[in-house]
Structure 1
Amino acid sequence: MDAFDLFRKLGAGAKFDFKRFGKDADRFKGVRSEQKDGSDLLSGIDFFGTGIYHGNQVKLAEEQVENGEEESEGESGKGKRKRQDEVKTVNRVRAQHRINVHGCDVPDPVCTFSELQSEYGLNPRVLQNLSSAGLTTPTPIQMQAIPLMMHGRELLACAPTGSGKTLAFCLPLLTHLKQPANLGFRALIISPTRELASQTHRELVRLSEGVGFRVHILDKASMAAKKYGPSSNKKYDILVSTPNRLVFLLKQDPPALHLSSVEWLVVDESDKLFEDGRSGFRDQLAAVFQACSGPRVRRALYSATCVPDVEQWCRINLDNLVSVNIGHRNSAVETVEQELLFVGTENGKLLAMRDIIKKGFLPPMLVFVQSIERARELFHELVYEGINVDVIHADRTQQQRDNVISSFRSGDIWVLICTALLARGIDFKGVNLVLNYDFPTSAVEYIHRIGRTGRAGHTGRAVTFFTEDDKPLLRRYTRGGACGLMGEGPNNIHLKKKKDKL
């Protein structure tokens, strides 16, 4: 439990006495009215964990209405009651769906996709494509993030894995851009891996079918320079790419790609992209942000986990930032039954794995290991077990990786051994079991791994092996709450111990 959680628990149930401290509140509002440059440090804090934030003064507005202080000259009592009912309805919707918002002038959430057509001009064909895909009701992150982007607001959105974040930024892009125009790329989506970029590209193509948008994914950089460079006819609208391929084109002399027409820049899995070191893309992102130099560009960052570095960067660099969080921040998805299994030693892992196979399991299953070498080793151990198993990692060619993912989706592969390559964003709707063969090194990594199951409201199961050597990590998770690993709630891990010779 961190300091914020402690303060929230201590302050639970506290209520501002407006009648007693009315004069102080008037002075506070006077100070806030002078801070129109967005520098109010208190605007993004939910002191009591209510999900109703003083940044947009929704709760304050409700109390003002109740005390008759919002009534202006000529306003009837009926109008005042109507406003009071509207505020209470918004508060109730957000509380029901665990939508937490930090920011000023936040638009109301939408409860149906049809509202997007009537209120924001969503293309009827896009709405039809949604219905054809079986998408009838927006998820909590879509309910709040879509109206924000429709209003052109810059945001940082954090929601559990499998909660529909991709759709939350795809629909506003298709609505905001209105119709195809030969102006160059007007929207750019950055993903940390080629697999996630491909998935986002497919989603956009499906949603925009019949509308006419030109959605492209950056493949080989050498071909892209000719296809999208200054000499091209610029007949494209939305680009999906990984940061390294994009930066390669931007660093050509002259740049092989111009992003000055970009109106929306979306960063998916933003905390991964802001990591330091070999696995991070912070330097590449800096080049991308600089290249998107148009005066109308707006930014939106999405992820299942949010780290302080990303949040701090957003508060400094984004205009009038709104932060949206669904449920408890950095918590494991509640639809996944989690289990810890003590296996003693490294040899015990292989015995426990074979035991799972022997007892019978319902495929498909994802198995996460910590390195490419360990993925290869486990594959060679299991390939003769009589099950359809394959392996995917960064050393395999892009064609091999695409073939493996396609076979896994079609059911030809029952068990897929993978590294962190597939830990983020990839949507396998039918995964029944995630096995952490190697103990994850961080709570964030754990959340993303088990998020490959239990998606879109379906239930799933996650089993995590741990040995004597993993106990220090386990103690750290337990002591710190581990972002929901060992905390309170329905997604607790059940601890088991193998009783046979492991």
Structure 2
Amino acid sequence: MDFLKILSRGTSVSKGAAKATPTQQTPSSGATSNPQLFGLDTATQTAQDPTKTGSKKRKRTRAAVTPAIDLPPELDFFGDANHAKTVGTEEADDQKADEGTDNVEKVEEVKDNSQPLDEEECKRILRSHKVKITVLEDYNKAKQEHMDAERKSKKRKKSKESVEAPPKKKSKDQLYPEPLTSFKQLRSRHGISRRLAENIEAQGYTMPTEVQLASLPLLLHGTAPESNGIDLLTVAPTGSGKTLAFLIPLLHSLLHQRHDQESKLGKNGIQAIVLAPTKELASQIANEGRKMSLNTGVKVSLMRKGMEVVEEDAEQDEVSENFKASASDSDSGSEDESAPKSARRKRGQLVKSDIIVSTPLALLHALKQSNGSVAPLKSARHLVLDEADVLLDPLFREQTLDIWNALTNPHLRVSLWSATMGSSIEELAVNTINSRWSSIASEAVTRPNLIRLIVGLKDSAVPNIHHQLTYAATEQGKLLAVRQLLHPTAPRSLDPADTPSLRPPFLIFTQTIPRAQALHSELQYDIPPEAGGSSRIAVLHSSLSSKQRDSVMTRFRRGEVWVLITTDLLARGVDFRGINGVVNYDAPTSGAAYVHRVGRTGRAGRAGGVAVTLYTEEDIPYIKNIANVIRRAEQVRGVDEQNSCVKQWLLDALPTPSKRDKKELKRRGVEARRAGVEGERTRGKWRTQISTRSGFEKRSERNRREAVEASKKRKIEGKGDADAGSGSEFGGFD
């Protein structure tokens, strides 16, 4: 009997309408059951319960369970109950074996009794999740090879052998550690703190993502007493949980130090430093750190203005006192001009925290001493660079390297995390680590190995979002396209195979701050008053004060703001889990910038996100890099050539930019848009302004304004000439 016929009897709902799902799946519709991006078909069942693989008895019990019927959401009244019954029947045998014990102890005993996976099974799981772990620098092996080469060279000199063997190509060793299949294994297998495990469970983390299942075993094993530790370089997609991947081992290492008699948390200086490129990202990391460290005794602080992280030496105190004395003894009573400004800076209160999260400039300012040098921070044992490719970019490179060199502890462990990392940045990181260890040259400390972890394809966008590349020709065309996204005229399709439409909340990225302000002034009245009016659209950029930026971020997270116009300030690291889409009003300046921008949606495995990129005639010479990134992401997702938004003919027609053009574009952006915004009146530059008025109207208004100003100027000059002429003719009264 067809139950749909019975339920739809006497109504206008047909059978086909009952089966249709008019609601579109969006990232804001709720959390996903599986946050993983790869290996969902083959490795998910094994990852959820590895103890059931290879057991025939378990397979028979699975087959005996009646498969559930997929019902529409409005008709599935007992979905949770049926699921609970199924889970209860599968775990009945395990509960009978441990009747008199506590529930938590039973779970841990089952996990402890589970057999570890063999190497072949570890390889299969890691490869299915597209995880590749490589040893970049095995320093102990390299040292031994160097010593062997020296011995061989001495023997060759003695025997006077003229034939030399050809140099062998260095092969990078791959690692296959046992992956973390559940967060419960952190307590049973890796021995993390009970309170830390409770905090992880309280935040709702159950299944680890790809970067977490691979990096957590490596880093947690590196904190063991018998291990020497590792330096890790991680490249993983946006929204894959990199923050949690470096916070858990960090807290675990600090909690282990509490049992050491020589180290006391909070009283032995700062133990870990986390650097981020923006204040918003640093604040987000600090908030996550406070959640994870709740009731553990570890203090996480966000670096703010006026904080001091090192105590000033007695010599520096004496120098500052001498400057004060010389200033007070001077006849003028003013401060001595020869004293440096840093010496006259007021010292703030010393921060007693275990983990400091900061931007490079804020921390470097706190480390500066009175004489202008950077104070060494000997207590720090961990350095984390989030968005490492930006921190080692020329914009932040000098500040980051100054902080890195100030950490003189020989036990320092470094980890670099980002979604994109070029070969030049990777080479710079390796050279910095090598130069630092060569300067330390401590035989008492064994040098750790440098390991690289890559998830998926390197420098590629997340595969669970839909990409749209739209040619808008002019600035007016882009503005009309954005208004059409706000007020769609075409009916929404109910076919799940079709490209989903963009729904608020979403972000709009522009190239410069003036363009963001201009676009906000154009769109702030597009939402009707019945829906909230201008309060639903906001703008965020670095020219705003910290209080204003925090206010906009808070309103956007609460859902009071639907459309947020911003620059690349929010393009990296900031986690908006409910963002349904991203609009690139101005095309990104590089493929890496595109990856980070569109990564604000589709986070933690949420499907249904939309990324719209608008480009004009000025963007055509540079758009091929973005088209290649989109094409690669669609290939990973399984989109064929016919349904792809980037056709092959488009890739063939677009010009390939040179290295010089790429470098200049990354540094300056599209020059026409910068000149147009700044108001140059060069012929043809006004068309790059964000406005609905045509060029004829702008020229007419400008000519009218200039005519009025010229008329006023002539009147003033004529009046002055008349006064001067009358004064020369009149000689006065006798």
* Residue of 164, 184, 189 corresponding to 2:269: 184
Q: Distance in 2 between matches of 1:379 and 1:85?
A: 55
Task: Say yes or no: does 1:429 pair with 2:547.
Answer: no
Larger Rg over CA atoms: 2
Aligned pair 1:210/2:295, yes or no?
yes
Q: How far did residue 108 of structure 1 move?
A: 2.7
Moved more, 152-161 or 384-393: 384-393
Question: What residue in structure 1 maps to residue 416 of structure 2?
Answer: 301
Going from structure 1 to structure 2, the CA distance change for 1:96 and 1:240 (only over 3 Å counts) comes to same
Instruction: Indicate the SS of the match to 1:489.
Output: helix
Once the two structures are superposed, the pairs formed by residues 100-139 of structure 1 within 5 Å of their partners are 100-103=132-135, 107-139=177-209
- Are the equivalent residues in 2 in contact too, given 1:338–1:491 (CA < 8 A)? no
Alpha-carbon distance, 1:314 to partner: 2.9
Letter aligned with residue 172 of structure 1: P
Q: Is 1:312 equivalent to 2:389 in the alignment?
A: no
Tell me how far apart the structure 2 counterparts of residues 443 and 331 of structure 1 sit (CA, whole Å): 9
The answer on whether the counterparts of 2:254 and 2:298 sit within 8 Å (CA) in structure 1 is: no
TM-superposed deviation, 1:260: 1.0
Matched, 1:195 2:280: yes
1:121-270 aligned at under 5 Å gives the runs 121-150=191-220, 151=222, 152-178=229-255, 179=258, 180-220=265-305, 223-225=306-308, 229-230=311-312, 235-253=352-370, 259-270=377-388
Aligned residues: 408
Residue of structure 2 in register with 1:48 after alignment? none
- Paired with 1:85 and 1:212, the residues of 2 have a C-alpha distance of 35
Shift of residue 275, structure 1, vs aligned partner = 1.2
Q: 2:595 aligns with which of 447, 461, 473?
A: 447
Q: Which residue of 2 aligns with 1:490?
A: 637
Q: 1:379 aligns with which of 513, 517, 520?
A: 520
**Amino acid in structure 2 at the alignment position of 1:270:** A
* SS of equivalent residue, structure 1 residue 408: helix
Q: With the length of structure 1 as denominator, give the TM-score of the two structures.
A: 0.77
| Matching residue's letter, 1:489 | V
Would you say the 8 A contact 2:631–2:646 is kept in 1? no
- In 2, the alpha carbon distance for the partners of 1:290 and 1:274 equals 13
CA contact (8 A) 1:190 1:240 kept: yes
Asked if 1:96 is matched to 2:128, the reply is yes
Contact preservation (8 Å) 2:280, 2:574: yes
Q: For the structure 1 residues 430 and 491, does the alpha-carbon distance in structure 2 shift closer, same or farther, using more than 3 Å as the test?
A: farther
Q: SS where residue 538 of structure 2 aligns? A: strand
Q: Name the CA distance, whole Å, in 1 between partners of 2:611 and 2:401.
A: 36
Supply the distance in 2 between the matched residues of 1:251 and 1:85 (Cα, whole angstroms): 50
Aligned mates of 1:394, 1:314 — CA distance in 2: 28
Deviation at 1:393, TM superposition (A): 0.5
Judge conservation of contact 1:163–1:455 (CA < 8 Å) in 2.
yes
Q: After superposition, what is the alpha-carbon deviation per residue over 1:79-110, rounded to whole angstroms, capped at 9, x for unaligned? A: xxxx9971101101101211111115664322
Structure 2 residue aligned with 1:465:
614
Distance 1:215 1:257, change over 3 A: farther
2:402 corresponds in structure 1 to 287
> Larger deviation: 243-252 or 400-409?
243-252
How many Å apart are 1:233 and its aligned residue? 7.0
C-alpha distance 132-145 of structure 1, shift in aligned 2 (>3 A): same
Higher mean C-alpha deviation, range 123-132 or range 421-430: 123-132
Q: TM-score, normalized by length of structure 2? A: 0.53
Relative to structure 1, the CA distance from residue 85 to residue 268 in structure 2 (aligned partners, 3 Å threshold; closer, same or farther) is closer
Deviation at 1:205, TM superposition (A): 0.1
Q: Which amino acid is the alignment partner of residue 413 of structure 2?
A: R
SS in 1 for 2:636: coil
State the partner residue of 1:5: none
What secondary structure, in the 3-state scheme, does the structure 1 residue paired with 2:552 have?
helix
Match of 1:34 in 2: none
**CA, structure 1 residues 258+317, in 2 after alignment: closer, same or farther (shift >3 Å)?**
closer
Provide closer, same or farther for how the CA distance between residues 428 and 113 of structure 1 changes in structure 2, counting only shifts above 3 A. same
Higher helix share: 2
SS of residue in 1 equivalent to 2:416: strand
Q: Any idea what the Cα deviations from partners look like across 1:172-193, whole Å, max 9, x if unmatched?
A: 0000111434111101000000
Shift of 1:327: 0.5
Q: Is the 8 A contact 2:630 2:646 kept in 1?
A: no
Is the Cα contact below 8 Å between 1:423 and 1:452 reproduced in 2? yes
Q: Aligned pair in 2 of structure 1 residues 330, 476: CA closer, same or farther (>3 Å)?
A: closer
Assess if the C-alpha contact under 8 Å between 2:472 and 2:614 holds in 1: yes
Q: Deviations over 1:116-145 (max 9, x none)?
A: 223332111111111111111111101111
Paired with 1:432 and 1:457, the residues of 2 have a C-alpha distance of 13
Deviation at 1:166, TM superposition (A): 0.2
Output the aligned Cα RMSD. 2.4
CA–CA distance in 1 between the matches of 2:523 and 2:356?
Answer: 40
- Name 2:456's counterpart in structure 1: 327
Secondary structure, aligned partner of 2:213: helix
> What letter matches 1:275 in structure 2?
D
Q: Counterpart in 2 of 1:370? A: 511
The Cα offsets for residues 156-184 of structure 1, whole Å up to 9 and x where unpaired, read as 00100000000000000000111434111
1:419 to 542, 567, 579: 567
- Contact kept, 8 Å, 1:106 with 1:148, in 2: the verdict is no
Inter-CA distance 258–206: structure 2 relative to 1 (3 Å threshold): farther
Post-superposition Cα deviations, 1:14-46, rounded to whole Å, max 9, x if no partner, equal xxxxxxxxxxxxxxxxxxxxxxxxxxxxxxxxx
Gap change, CA 1:288 and 1:491, over 3 Å in 2: farther
For 1:20, the equivalent position in structure 2 comes to: none
1:315-370 Cα offsets, whole Å, 9 max, x none, are 33445210000000111001111111111111100011111111185211100000
Identity %: 38
Report what 2:324 is aligned to: none
Q: Which consecutive residues of structure 1, in runs of 5 or more, have no partner in the other structure?
A: 1-82
SS at match of 1:359: coil
* Alpha-carbon shift at residue 115 of structure 1 (Å): 2.0
SS at match of 1:261: coil
Q: CA deviation at 1:257?
A: 6.4
Residue 490 of structure 1 and its aligned partner are, at CA, apart by: 1.9
Whole-Å separation in 2 of the counterparts to 1:491 and 1:298: 39
In structure 2, give the amino acid aligned to 1:367. Answer: I
Alpha carbons 2:506, 2:581 under 8 Å: kept:
yes
* Secondary structure of 2:635 counterpart: coil
AA matched with 2:516: A
Change beyond 3 A, Cα 1:122–1:435: same
Matching of residue 408 in structure 1 with residue 556 in structure 2: yes
Q: In structure 2, what is the Cα distance between the partners aligned to 1:416 and 1:477? A: 23
